[in-house]
Amino acid sequence: MKNSIAERIADFLKNFPPFFSLIYTELVAISNEIQVIHVEKNHVLFKIGDKTHPFFYIVKEGAIGLSVTSDAEETLIDKCDEGDILGLRPFFAKDNYLMTAKAREESLLYAIPIEVFKPYVSQNAEVLNFLLESFASNTRNPYDKENKGKLISENVIYTEQSSEIQYFQPISYTKTPITASGKDIVKFVAQTMSQSKIGSVIIQENNLPVGIVTDKDLRSKIATGLFPIDIPVNQIMSAPVITVPENISIAETQMMMLKHNVGHLCVTVDGTNKSKIMGIISEHDVVVAQANNPGVLLKQTKRATRSKELKAVREKLNDLIQNSLDKNIPIQHISSLVGEINIAITKRAVELAIEKMEKEPPTRFAWMNIGSQGRKEQLLMTDQDNALVFEDVEEQHYDDVKKYFLELAEKVTKTLHKVGYEFCPAEMMANNPMWCKSVTDWNKQYNSWINKPGEKGILMCSIFFDYDFIVGDASLVDLISENIFANVHNNQLFYAYLGTDALKNPPPLGFFRQFLVEEDGEHKDTFDIKSRALMPLIDAARLLVLSQAIKGINNTYQRYKKLAELEPQNADLFESCAEAFSTLTLFRTEEGLANNNNGRYLNLNELSKSDKVKLKNAFQPIRAIQDAIKNRFQLTYFT
C-alpha cells in the first residue's frame, strides 16, 4: 500500500541537498521513518549542552535560529529556512550540542533518524560531502569581552575553559600514504585498500603524484560495471590530484577541499605535483582536527543572490582579519584564507552576472584577477583589477563575442563595486575593451610588452604579470602562461628593463637611518609603505620567478619560499625577504583596519620605538635583494 504522507515528504526532500542526490525510492523509504514536528515560536528544539538527539532536522516551514549564549546574552549565529538542515552533530561527534536551536517563528520540521539515514551517507559520496561541509555552524566568539560578537573563524571550538583558535593550526595528516603505479591492476589496488582499511591510494610516477583512486572511484566505475576490474588503475584514477604543502593549516585544508570539490589532498614537499609525495589529507582528518567547521562564509557566498549578500560576507571577513590579528595568527595564513574568500566572492559575482544576461556565454572564457588580487595579497578593501580572456573565434563573430563579454564584465565590475571593491582609477578592469580579448590578442599584447619593453610596457608588467584564474575555462589562462614563459626565456633585454624597474625604489631610509616620508600633498610626513617598502620586494620576486620559469606561484611570500628551495646557496636572502614581506604586510593591514582605509600611508608618530625598529629591520632585505638583482642581471649600466 502506498503511503501518501511519505510520498509528500519525499517530494519535498528531493528539491534540496543532499536529498536530491538520492533516488526517489530511497527518499520514500527514508520518509516512512521521518517524524513531523511542530515547533511553536520561541520554543527551543535543543540547547547548548544538551545530549544529541537520535535525529537531525530539515526545516519544512518557518525558521530556526542557531545561537550561542554568554553572560546571559544570546548571539544569533545562523538562521535555517526552508530546506536547511540542522542538528548534524550526532553524525560526526559524540559530545553534546554546542549551540541552541530555537524557533524564530512557528515552524514545521522533519526529524530524520540518524540510524536510518547513515547507510545512505556511507553509500553516497555526494551526501557525505554535503554533510561534512554543513557540519555545525558559523560561530562568533561569545567569551571575548572586548570584541563580543565579532567573527573570528568558522573553525573555532569554544568551551568555558578555552577559546583557542584551532583553525590556523597545521593539520595532522597521514605521513606514510599508500601509493601505486599507474600500471598496477585495479583489482590489486582495491585489495590493498581493503587490507589496509584506507579509502584512497595515490597514483605516482617516480614518487610524483599523477592521480588518486578513492572508494568513490571503485563504486562509480568498477562496481557499476562501467570498467572491468583487471585494467590498469590509471584508467579509472581521478587526475590531476590536488596537491598542498606539508604545513597547510586546517583553514586552508577545508578551503582547498571546498574550492576543488574533493575529499582528499596530496601533501608534497613544495605543494605542487612536481615534488615528492609526503602524505595525504582526508575529510576525516579535517573533522578530527576540528569538530565544528562548516565554512559558512563560503556557504553564504555560494548562496548569495544579490550584491548586498556578498557585501555582508566581505564585511564579516574584515572582522575575521581583525580578530585573527588579535590572536597573533601568522599574516601569511590570514592572507591565504582571505584570498580564497575574495576569489569566491568574485566567482559568485561572475555567476550572478551570467544569470542576468539574456543568453549563455557564446564561447569559452576565463575571468582573471590581476595585480594584488592576482597575488592573493588583497587583505584590505582596495580597488579591483581584473581581465577577461575568451577563446579564439572566427573573425566575423569576433565583435559580437567581445560585445557580449564586455557587457558581462560591466555587470561583474558593478557588482564588485557594490560589494566594496572600488573601480580601478586606471580602468584596468575587464569591462575596458583593452583588457577583454581573445587568447590570440592577449598573446600579442604580452609579446609586445615582453619584446618591446618601453616604460609603459614595464608598467603593465607589474600588474598583468601577476594574474590568477578565477572562473571559466582555466586552459585559456594556461595558453597565455605558456606563451609568456616561451617569450621571456633567456630574454635579456626584457629582464634588463624589468630589473631596472625593480630597482626604481631603493631602501626607504635616508642618512642616519631616517625614514623617507612624503614631502608634500595630502599624505605629507607619512610613510608610503606600499611604494617604498612592499613594491620593491614584490617587483623583485616577480622578476626572479619569471627568470626561473616558476609557474603557478603568484603570492610574493610563496615566491620567495620557492626561490629559497630552488637556490639553497641564497636561501637566507630569500627567507629574509619572505619574512620582511610578512612584517610589512602586517604593518599595512593593522594601519588599514585601525583607520578604515587601505593602510598605505603610515603615521610614524603613532608607532612605538620598538615598532619603528621592527619596521626598519624589515627594510634590510630590500637592499640585499636589489644588489643580488644588479649582479644577476648585470644592471650596473642601467641603474
- Residue 255 scores a pLDDT above 80: no
| 433 against 41, higher pLDDT | 433
Residue 41 phi/psi, 5-degree rounding, is: -55, 135
Please, which residues bridge with residue 208 across strands?
A: 205
CATH number of 330-488: 3.30.460.10
Contact, 52 vs 111, CB < 8 A?
no
Share of residues in the chain with pLDDT > 90 (%): 48
Residue 224: is its pLDDT beyond 80? yes
Among residues 468, 462, 548, 470, the alpha carbon closest in space to that of 505 is found at 462
Tell me what pLDDT residue 156 has. 32
pLDDT tens sequence across 331-366: 888 888 888 888 999 999 999 999 999 899 999 999
Q: Where are the domains of the chain?
A: 4-122, 179-289, 330-488, 495-632
Q: Provide the mean pLDDT of the chain.
A: 84
Please give the CATH topology (third level) of the domain spanning 179-289.
Answer: CBS-domain (3.10.580)
Whole-number pLDDT of residue 552: 85
Residue 327's pLDDT is 65
Transcribe 476-498 into DSSP letters: HHHHHHHHHHHHHTT-HHHHHHH
* Parallel, antiparallel or unpaired: strands 100-103 and 44-46: antiparallel
Structure confidence at residue 160 as a pLDDT band (50, 70, 90): very low
Q: What is the pLDDT of residue 159?
A: 32
Residue 570 per-residue DSSP state = G
Supply the DSSP string of 518-551, one letter for each residue: --SSTTTT-EEHIIIIIHHHHHHHHHHHHHTT--
> Please, what sign has the CA dihedral across residues 246, 285, 143, 67?
positive
The C-alpha cell that represents 264 in the structure block? 582528499
How much of the chain, in percent, has pLDDT values that exceed 70?
A: 87
Q: Which of 306-315, 356-365, 447-456, 614-623 has the lowest mean pLDDT?
A: 447-456
Let me know: does 482 contact 552? Beta carbons within 8 Å.
no
Q: What per-residue confidence (pLDDT) applies to 152?
A: 28
Whole-model pTM: value is 0.60
Task: Look at residue 630 and tell me whether its pLDDT is greater than 70.
Answer: yes
Length of the chain: 639
**pLDDT, position 73:** 54
Band of pLDDT at residue 289, cut at 50, 70 and 90 = low
Question: From CA 284, how far away is CA 264, in angstroms rounded?
Answer: 9
> What fold does the segment set 4-122 form as a domain?
Jelly Rolls (2.60.120)
Q: Of 260 and 278, which is predicted with more confidence?
A: 278
Residue 259: predicted pLDDT: 74
Condensed to tens digits (0 to 9), the pLDDT of residues 97-119 reads 878 899 988 999 999 998 899 88
Instruction: Determine how many CB atoms are found less than 10 A away from the CB of residue 214.
Output: 20
Helix crossing, 609-632 with 535-547: angle to 10°? 30
- Kindly state the cell numbers that stand for 463: 600588474
Q: What angle do CA 209, 215, 219 make, to 5 degrees?
A: 125
What CA dihedral angle connects 303, 305, 307 and 312, to 10 degrees? -40
pLDDT of residue 123: 77
pLDDT of residue 60: 93
Give ∠ CA 476-477-481 in degrees, rounded to 5: 120
Q: Which tens digit of pLDDT belongs to each residue from 393-447?
A: 999 999 999 999 999 999 999 999 999 999 999 899 999 999 999 999 999 999 9
Which pLDDT belongs to residue 3?
61
Q: Are the C-beta atoms of residues 294 and 283 closer than 8 Å to each other?
A: no
**Torsion from C-alpha of 73, 74, 75, 80, nearest 10 degrees:** 180
pLDDT, position 512: 54
